[in-house]
């Protein structure tokens, strides 16, 4: 039995990458999906690509701007009539090899603003609707919240904040809305990019062998976990962070 059929979800950053994989998976379960994404080109492409899969809408949204985040939620309610799940997936990636002493506050604030503040904004304005359906929130963090490469300060801090936001919301919404978090590891999503940015990444055997699971992750690996966490099967799970990384963070490495 599919308890998610006909239920409504908002997926932020749902037009590319992991978010696009989540959108596709939800449509395959018979859910209705509203994509809130800042990239209009990607959003319109995804609408066209997935239109045959089910009921789907797109709202161009900068989730770091409260009025835009609220508008996306209002538009989803107008279109579909209710809201059962919020998937806070949208994020600006880490800014590359910028040493912390050279990282400008404008860039720092932008990453925190989208990745962390944006997730709070979307939760804030979704909560009244989610309470009505006894729905769920899933926040997408990262293994970079618990481990790092050099020069990841803003991104890692934002993703660490997502984990803390998760357990805080779970307690504030106790008995009304369940809130959980997923921390993906290496998920290969080059085929989930918009056409103008799509470049195939050729994974090597060495790439796969870094993972105790024997392979690099796929968007579907995260989408399956998201679907489980919003389903009735996960009714006793809230406030938790689930690391989905093929075991990589549990692997000791000696040089």
CATH assignment at residue 220: 3.40.50.720
> What is the predicted pLDDT for the residue at 95?
61
The average pLDDT across 101-124 equals 96
Please give the order of strands across the beta sheet that includes 178-184. Answer: 56-60, 32-37, 8-12, 85-88, 136-140, 178-184, 241-244
Which range is least confidently modeled, 8-22, 180-194, 224-238? 180-194
* Mean pLDDT across 46-70: 98
Q: Does 2 reside within a domain? A: no
Average pLDDT taken over every residue of the chain = 95
Predicted pLDDT of residue 125: 98
For 10: left if phi > 0, alpha if psi spans -120 to 50, otherwise beta; the answer is: beta
For residue 232, is it within any domain? yes
Number of domains present in the structure of the chain: 1
Confidence band of 108 (pLDDT split at 50, 70, 90): very high
- In terms of pLDDT, which residue wins out, 206 or 82? 82
pLDDT at 232: 97
Give the global pTM.
0.95
CB count in 10 Å sphere of residue 216:
20
Give mean pLDDT, residues 22-50: 98
Lowest mean pLDDT among 91-95, 155-159, 164-168: 91-95
| Residue 61: both structure tokens together | 């949204």
Alpha-carbon gap, residue 82 to 55, rounded angstroms: 14
Distance CA 102, CA 144 (A): 20
Give the residue-averaged pLDDT of 145-160: 93
239 found inside a domain: yes
Whole-number pLDDT of residue 82: 98
CA distance 33 to 9: 5
At a CB cut-off of 8 Å and minimum separation 6, what does 80 contact? 8, 32, 34, 55, 57
Q: Is 5 helix (H, G, I), strand (E, B) or coil?
A: coil
Domain that holds residue 114: 8-250
Q: Greater confidence, 204 or 75?
A: 75
Q: Is residue 55 part of a domain?
A: yes
Residue 3 lies inside a defined structural domain of this protein: no
Task: Find out whether 186 and 216 touch, Cβ atoms under 8 Å.
Answer: yes
**The pLDDT of residue 1 is above 70:** no
Q: Are 36 and 233 in contact (CB under 8 A)?
A: no
- Other C-beta atoms lying within 10 Å of the C-beta of residue 135: 23
Q: Any idea which residues carry the catalytic annotation?
A: 155
Q: Is residue 233 part of a domain?
A: yes
CA distances 124 to 63, 109, 172, 254, Å, are 12, 20, 11, 44
Q: Is residue 108 part of a domain?
A: yes
Task: Please give the DSSP secondary-structure letter assigned to residue 203.
Answer: -
**pLDDT tens-digit series, residues 196-236:** 887 777 888 988 988 989 898 999 999 999 999 999 999 99
Query: In this model, does residue 115 exceed pLDDT 90?
Result: yes
Examine residue 125 and state whether it is found in any structural domain, yes or no.
yes
């Amino acid at each position: 039995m599919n308890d998610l059929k006909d239920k409504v979800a908002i997926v932020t950053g749902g037009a590319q990458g992991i978010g696009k994989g989540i959108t596709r998976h939800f449509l395959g379960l018979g859910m209705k999906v509203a994509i809130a994404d800042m990239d209009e080109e990607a959003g319109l492409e995804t609408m066209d690509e997935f239109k045959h899969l089910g009921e789907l809408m797109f709202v161009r949204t900068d989730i770091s701007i409260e009025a835009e985040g609220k508008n996306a939620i209002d538009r989803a309610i107008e279109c579909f009539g209710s809201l059962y799940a919020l998937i806070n997936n949208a994020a600006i990636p880490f800014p590359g090899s910028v040493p912390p002493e050279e990282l400008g506050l404008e860039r720092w604030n932008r990453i925190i603003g989208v990745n962390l503040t944006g997730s709070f904004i979307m939760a804030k304005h979704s909560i009244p609707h989610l309470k009505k359906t006894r729905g769920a929130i899933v926040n997408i963090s990262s293994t970079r919240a618990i481990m790092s490469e050099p020069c990841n300060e803003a991104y890692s801090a934002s993703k660490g904040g997502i984990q803390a936001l998760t357990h805080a919301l779970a307690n504030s919404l106790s008995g009304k809305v369940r809130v959980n978090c997923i921390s993906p590891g290496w998920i290969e999503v080059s085929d989930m990019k918009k056409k103008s940015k799509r470049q195939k990444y050729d994974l090597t055997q060495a790439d796969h062998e870094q993972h105790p699971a024997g392979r690099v992750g796929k968007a579907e690996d995260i989408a399956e976990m998201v679907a489980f966490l919003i389903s009735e099967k996960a009714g006793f799970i809230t406030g938790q962070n689930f690391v989905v990384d093929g075991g990589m963070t549990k692997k000791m490495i000696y040089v």
